[in-house]
């Protein structure tokens, strides 16, 4: 009977998100490579669970009153990482909600420690081809400026995988519709919580 039970349990998380919502006590924090769809999936996940959504990169831009590219160019990556950590610490104080983070946030030990302590980290993982295709849609990422996205992403993915793997939940976000990724996140949370 175990196999027969499994699909019913899985679909109930997506069909009755309010029951799942009641069990969520900490912010859900989406981590993973640039281009994996953390902001899009995060917004939809928040809406499915009737939780507030925050995009850490957008909050950093608002707090610094300059773009991420300008921050990298004028003050360097360390300055950006410092602001990123402080903004994420503030967002984590906000109670249950969904937070999408920039691709490097969870790789920074201090930021990762905060997320692991105060939130529920969900690693959105994807194959390289999907990432390359998705980053091609926007030209705002300083780490890719003037470089070959496939090369940069291959190297970053290799370096960052061990850090992302410290998230307690991993969900694959492939080239299919984002609603499928959101359903997988709901199912993974239901199983984990
Ligand atoms: C970065 C990813 C970006 C942004 C910044 C640095 C990274 O966010 O935070 O450009 O180090 O991977 P996205 O993951 O939303 O692209």
What's the confidence (pLDDT) of residue 107? 98
Residue 136 in tokens:
């091609």
What's the confidence (pLDDT) of residue 2? 46
pLDDT tens by residue, the chain, 193 residues: 445 444 445 567 888 899 999 999 999 999 999 999 999 999 999 999 999 999 999 999 999 999 999 999 999 999 999 999 999 999 999 999 999 999 999 999 999 999 999 999 999 999 999 999 999 877 789 999 999 999 999 999 999 999 999 999 999 998 888 999 999 999 999 999 9
What's the confidence (pLDDT) of residue 11? 61
DSSP characters for 62-79? HHHTS-HHHHHHHH-HHH
Enter the pTM of the model.
0.93
Q: Which residues contact 9 (CB under 8 A, 6 or more apart)?
A: 190
Nearest CA to ligand 1 atom 12: 103
End-to-end Cα, the chain, rounded Å: 23
What distance in angstroms lies between residue 165's CA and the mean position of ligand 1's atoms?
A: 18
Burial state string for 166-183 with b = 16 or more CB within 10 A and e = fewer than 16: ebebbbbbeeeeeeebbb
What distance in angstroms lies between residue 35's CA and the mean position of ligand 1's atoms?
A: 8
């Amino acid at each position: 009977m175990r196999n027969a039970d499994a699909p019913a349990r899985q679909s109930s998380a997506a069909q009755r998100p309010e029951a799942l919502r009641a069990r969520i006590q900490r912010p859900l924090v989406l981590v993973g490579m640039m281009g994996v769809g953390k902001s899009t999936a995060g917004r939809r996940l928040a809406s499915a669970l009737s939780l507030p959504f925050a995009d850490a990169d957008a909050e950093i831009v608002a707090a610094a009153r300059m773009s991420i590219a300008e921050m990298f160019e004028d003050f360097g990556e360390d300055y950006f990482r410092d602001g990123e950590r402080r903004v994420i610490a503030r967002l984590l104080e906000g109670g249950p909600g969904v937070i999408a983070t920039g691709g490097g946030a969870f790789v920074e030990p201090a930021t990762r420690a905060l997320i692991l302590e105060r939130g529920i980290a969900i690693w959105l993982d994807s194959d390289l081809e999907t990432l390359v295709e998705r980053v091609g849609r926007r030209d705002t990422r300083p780490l890719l400026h003037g470089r070959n996205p496939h090369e940069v992403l291959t190297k970053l993915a290799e370096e960052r995988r061990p850090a992302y793997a410290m998230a307690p939940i991993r969900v694959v976000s492939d080239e299919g519709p984002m609603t499928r990724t959101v359903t997988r996140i709901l199912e993974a949370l239901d199983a984990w919580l």
